[in-house]
Amino acid sequence: MRFRARMCANRRQAAPERAACSNRHVAPVVGRFTILFGMTAVVDRLNTEKTTFSVEFFPPRSDDEERILWRAVRELEPLDPAFVSVTYGAGGSSRDRTIRTTGRIAQETTLTPMAHLTAVDHSVAELRNVIGWYAASGVQNVLAVRGDPPGDPNGEWRQHPEGLTYAEELVRLVRELGEFCVGVAAFPHGHPRSTDLDIDADHLVRKIRAGAGFAIAQLFLEPEYFLRLRDRMVARGCDVPLLPGVMPITTPRVLGKFGELAGVPVPAEVSEQLMPLAEDPAGFRAAGVDLVTRLCERLIAEGVAALHFYTLNRSKATRQVVANLGL
């Protein structure tokens, strides 16, 4: 199967380097993909007066996991999330499953899909090919992240000999190749390889000025870290949507997964509240859902207009939190 593409010859004038923090100044180039089926851009879905939410899935690794994923997709579809994202594993079957899953969501549901894309182990030619597949599947929205070294998120980054080094380069590549809406990752606790939150915020702003229209924050359980990141963005003249990443805590295993995904220890206060319930599954789940509900309530009270839920391919806990919030 080969992707369909069409060349476009329109050009725009690039804005000066000190342009406002938006994606409107990016200059497309000749040789762009036409996105089929006319999907809605994430930034348009986020442009609403009511509080909304989005959800994240990972590509299934087996037929059983695929059935579980699609049950979650169908259960969340009636709630009309702003968008659904599918994570990405570079080079191999995980990448292919991301393309297939995102394409199915685009073509078989009423949901707005967003595909992840990383620069790990990819040449620029391979990245162009993946972006072309997304365009052919009708996927207009892409989360562009550099990605972690395979097998060791904290390992040394190694650029592909014919690839890219920075997420902002990947943002520019995606934007150059079509009318894509691009998002980037943000780190309330700071990027794992960064030792300075201000420098980290500068990197985030550069990614947005490269063409990203919104950012999704890594997981956190202490709202102050997210709110201070938002303050740093505003101080730099950057007002694109910043979505907090939240994950319902339903089991001790999921609580441990939080630390793995967030790259920071579980806050002591959270452990003290939940771990005494470790042998009481129903009690632990209820307390975990309540904790995340209160986290989201605080964020909404602080003016956050959209929440991004990491679902682990299950829908029940996310639906409970959404219902608790009246979304």
| 56 catalytically annotated | yes
Assign 10 a pLDDT band (cuts: 50, 70, 90): very low
Query: 77-108: buried (b, 16+ CB within 10 Å) or exposed (e) per residue?
Result: eeeebbbbbbbbbbeeeebebbbbbbbbbbee
Each domain of the chain, given as residue ranges in start order, spans 42-325
Work out the end-to-end distance of the chain between its first and last CA atoms, rounded to an integer number of angstroms.
40
Residue tagged active-site, from 17, 49, 56, 66: 56
CB atoms within 10 A of CB 285: 20
CB 247 within 8 A of CB 292: yes
Q: For the chain, how big is the Rg over CA atoms in Å?
A: 19
Per-residue pLDDT, averaged over 74-83, amounts to 96
Per-residue pLDDT, averaged over 127-146, amounts to 89
The residue with greater pLDDT, 16 or 229, is: 229
Q: For 137-222, where are the alpha helices, taking DSSP H only?
A: 167-176, 197-209
CB 21 within 8 A of CB 239: yes
Is residue 31 scored above 80 in pLDDT? no
Q: What is the dihedral of CA 253, 257, 258, 260, to 10 degrees?
A: 150
pTM: 0.86
Topology at the third CATH level for domain 42-325: TIM Barrel (3.20.20)
pLDDT in tens, 149-196: 665 555 566 767 777 888 999 999 999 998 899 999 999 998 877 778
